[in-house]
Amino acid sequence: MARDCMRIIGGTALSGEVSVSGGKNTSVAAIPATLLADGPCVLENIPDIDDVHALIDILRSLGAQVSFDADRNVMKVDPTTVNTCVVSRENAQRLRASYYLMGALLGRLGEAEVPLPGGCPIGPRPIDQHLKAFRALGAEVDDEGGVVHMKAPELMGSLISFDIVTVGGTINAILAAAKAEGVTLIQNAAREPHVVDVANLINSMGGKVRGAGTAMIRITGQRHLRGTNYAVIPDQIETGTMMIAAAATHGDVTIHNCIPVHMESLTAKLLEVGVRVSAEDDVIRVWDNPRQAHRAVKVTTQAYPGFPTDLQQPFSALLTTASGVSKIEETIFEQRFRHLDELVRMGARVDVRDSVASIEGVPRLIGTSVTVTDLRAGAGLLVAGLMAEGETVILEPHFIDRGYDHVVEKLSGLGARISREVLE
Ligand code: EPZ
């Protein structure tokens, strides 16, 4: 049976310049958000990734007219022809972010029928907080049988106090509240850059969202939101993955079209490891002293502005050859260490107890055949393959296609010996 794979000959220090694409986690919220508009929207800097194509299919299935110029990263959405509030189970299961259709359809039509989402198998990932927000706004919510049915003749502004910090829940609440009657207060809101980006998008449509980026967001509902032309922010996690790959291969890489302030928790950890980082405007440079071994560090994943859980997996690959014992505590997801088994097969020395992984540095990783289990595990195995001695064959690379735009071309441009192949 033919098998898709990525093949890497490791050991090359990455060097040169690379540009980051638009953000996955902001785009997968911005695209559903266009359904709130009374007219056509243009979104720029949209990455050409599988999750974006899944959302294009979903919006078209709802009756919206969507065009996407993947070369120019420009998407046009005309939501005025939307004629149903029903999302198919097949489409909903293709990605986690299909849950944003709940808030967007509730906001546009006052009703939604959306199956529970798919997404990376990194834990149970319930959406109880999203449903709590919709109920607070006055929606009748029935979540039996794996499909969320919601009706809200009139969405009324309210206080939404999240029991935990949730990125998806925060953004979904903003989408549903943007056109609700009156004022909505969101307490214990997520502060991620893409929460701020979606708030800015809604404001560019004539919305009134204040305080995004803090734990308290205030939304004054507007009866009408207009079409807009908006460019989404660069991908924080792709930026971080490139920074980690540069450091892990003892290279010298300059990353363009990024937002350095979004990267501060990773930058601080890379400096602790002994890597050099400089930043100005929309450029970050990461370089290394190849003769100096990386130092082991302790990392705890946290909601923004803490160390992002999405960078835990690629960062763990870098730590496999740091001198000493590193500790990674994963506090956000319950099963986000599955990639470590594959790193052990490459010679890493890892011990996992509950939510803490201890990684004892080894002199080098050795290339072998490894299998991707989720998107950021794939990023971790890419970094490991670039570091390893010899050849690494990465199986199930389709997970990586969900969140990284032209990653093989970008890494090749930095000198990596990497190719996409079909194994017969
Ligand atoms: C978003 O997932 C991202 N996905 C994830 O990125 C990211 O890891 C995560 O935020 C944290 O930053 C998208 O934006 C599409 P959460 P989300 O709600 O919204 C629990 C990637 O690799 N929770 O902040 O699912 C949940 O189980 C992906 O790009 C509830 O219990 O994350 C988790 O343990 C992976 N009830 C924690 O909260 C809820 O109603 C944080 O989840 C919602 C969440």
Q: What is the pLDDT of residues 102-125, one digit of tens each?
A: 999 999 999 999 999 998 889 889
Task: Give the whole-number percent of the chain exceeding pLDDT 90.
Answer: 95
Q: Quick check: helix, strand or coil at residue 158? A: coil
pTM: 0.98
24-231 has which fold? UDP-n-acetylglucosamine1-carboxyvinyl-transferase; Chain (3.65.10)
Atom of ligand 1 nearest to the CA of 128: 40
CA of 403 relative to ligand 1 center, distance in Å: 15
- What dihedral angle (degrees, nearest 10) is formed by the CA atoms of 91, 95, 96, 101? -40
pLDDT, residue 18, reads: 98
Whether residue 168 has its Cβ less than 6 Å from ligand 1: yes
- What mean pLDDT is predicted for residues 389-417? 98
Whether residue 309 has its Cβ less than 6 Å from ligand 1: yes
- What mean pLDDT is predicted for residues 211-229? 98
244: left (phi over 0), alpha (psi -120 to 50) or beta: alpha
**Measured between alpha carbons, how far is residue 129 from residues 71, 99, 141, 142, 167 in Å?**
37, 12, 12, 14, 10
pLDDT, residue 144, reads: 86
Domain 3-21+234-423 annotated CATH 3.65.10.10: yes
Whether residue 130 has its Cβ less than 6 Å from ligand 1: yes
278: number of Cβ within 10 Å:
12
What gap in Å lies between CA 282 and CA 112, rounded to an integer? 39
pLDDT, residue 289, reads: 79
Whether residue 337 has its Cβ less than 6 Å from ligand 1: no
For residue 148, the cross-strand partners are 114
Q: Quick check: helix, strand or coil at residue 147? A: strand
Whether residue 339 has its Cβ less than 6 Å from ligand 1: no
The DSSP string of 343-403 is HHHTT-EEEEETTEEEEE--S--B--EEE--SHHHHHHHHHHHHHSBSEEEEE-THHHHTT
Residue of 164, 197, 399 to mutate, ligand 1, most atoms within 8 A of C-beta? 164
Task: Assess whether the region 3-21+234-423 and the region 24-231 belong to the same CATH fold.
Answer: yes
Residues 18 and 401 sit within 8 Å (Cβ to Cβ): no
- What mean pLDDT is predicted for residues 379-394? 98
Give yes or no for residue 164 having a pLDDT over 90. Answer: yes
Residue of 25, 312, 335, 405 to mutate, ligand 1, most atoms within 8 A of C-beta? 25
Q: Where are the beta strands (DSSP E) in 13-139?
A: 15-19, 41-44, 65-69, 74-78, 111-115
pLDDT, residue 423, reads: 85
What gap in Å lies between CA 148 and CA 27, rounded to an integer? 23
Atom of ligand 1 nearest to the CA of 122: 35
For residue 120, indicate whether it is catalytic: yes
Q: What is the pLDDT of residues 283-333, one digit of tens each?
A: 999 999 777 899 999 999 999 999 999 999 999 999 999 999 999 999 999
- What mean pLDDT is predicted for residues 249-266? 98
Whether residue 333 has its Cβ less than 6 Å from ligand 1: yes
Catalytic residue among 5, 41, 85, 120: 120
For the chain, which residues make up each domain, given as ranges? 3-21+234-423, 24-231
Give yes or no for residue 158 having a pLDDT over 90. Answer: yes
Give yes or no for residue 89 having a pLDDT over 90. Answer: yes
Q: What is the pLDDT of residues 333-362, one digit of tens each?
A: 999 999 999 999 999 999 999 999 999 999
Q: What is the pLDDT of residues 19-67, one digit of tens each?
A: 999 999 999 999 999 999 999 999 999 999 999 999 999 999 999 999 9
Give yes or no for residue 1 having a pLDDT over 90. Answer: no
Model confidence band, residue 210 (pLDDT cutoffs 50, 70, 90): very high
Instruction: Determine the straight-line distance between the first and last CA of the chain, rounded to whole angstroms.
Output: 6
Residues 326 and 358 sit within 8 Å (Cβ to Cβ): yes
Q: Please, what is the average pLDDT of the chain?
A: 97
- What mean pLDDT is predicted for residues 195-210? 98
Kindly report the protein residue whose alpha carbon is nearest to atom 41 of ligand 1. 166
Whether residue 243 has its Cβ less than 6 Å from ligand 1: no
